[in-house]
Amino acid sequence: MALQLFIIFAMLAFGELVVWLTGVRIPSSIIGMLTLTLLLKLGIIKLRWVKSTSNFLTGNLAFFFIPPGVSLMLYYGLIKSQWIPITVSIIISTILVMASTVWTYKLIRKSNGNHRK
């Protein structure tokens, strides 16, 4: 378990380093996840090395959203005064995420030769 946590946090640290060195405006956690995905795909890191810790973290993901959710109460006045732009942003971003997910799924299926004609 310690090795699994080390690998996951090493990927996060690598993402932080990339952001710090390059100034790229991508979250370090995204860079770390993409790096981990690449290393898994290349076989440099074995899935069994990170699987159980990854399953634990994703299985308890809702727990990690409690502190940010509670801290939203500090901004109730701002949220109340800006509810229309917030709602529009949520709706538009949800539609864009859904569309990009479908597009990515179709692209992957097509590249694997598993698409319907």
Identify whether residues 82 and 102 lie together within a single domain.
yes
85-104 pLDDT per residue, tens: 999 999 999 999 999 999 99
Q: How far apart are CA 85 and CA 113, in angstroms?
A: 42
Q: Which amino acid is at 108?
A: I
Q: How far apart are CA 8 and CA 14, in angstroms?
A: 10
Range of the domain at 33: 1-64
- Does the global pTM surpass 0.75? no
Identify whether residues 60 and 74 lie together within a single domain.
no
Q: Domain ends where: 22, 47, 64?
A: 64
100-110 pLDDT per residue, tens: 999 999 998 88
Is 117 a residue whose pLDDT tops 70?
Answer: no
Q: How far apart are CA 32 and CA 58, in angstroms?
A: 16
Q: Return the pLDDT at 72.
A: 87
Q: Return the pLDDT at 99.
A: 97
Identify whether residues 41 and 14 lie together within a single domain.
yes
43-54 pLDDT per residue, tens: 999 999 999 999
Identify whether residues 59 and 73 lie together within a single domain.
no
Contact 75, 26 (CB under 8 A): no
Contact 101, 94 (CB under 8 A): no
